Amino acid sequence: MSTLVFVYGTLRTGELRAHVVSRCINRGIFRTEPKYTLLDFGPFPGLVEGGNTAVVGEVLEVDNDILQELDWIEGHPNFYRRQAISLEGIDGAVAYIAVDSTAVDKVTKIASGDWVNRNVAVSSVN
């Protein structure tokens, strides 16, 4: 049995912990519905509910062994909580949501919603 997991930070292709999920099936790049905030915790991001950002990530099919490993890496359920996520174009995925939503006012927000391109300036069109 597999679980669809939306990864938006260090587990994405080319990132620090991508090796953990390298044998999983990658369904591609997806965006959340624009109702989240992506935070920059320095070496890794945190996704929190609330806000108006569409966060970019990859959806992976993971088996139970990898899911348990991800739970351990993400500190589920105390640091990050695995829960259903609203994605555009795919149903039934879960993501690791930061438990401490008070961090929103204490750290930098990634306005683009894309951890991989976090240093790229976001421009607005008038």
Name the residues annotated as catalytic. 74
Where are the extended beta strands (E) located within the chain? 2-7, 25-31, 36-40, 45-49, 56-63, 80-84, 93-98, 108-109
Cβ-contact 95, 87 below 8 angstroms: no
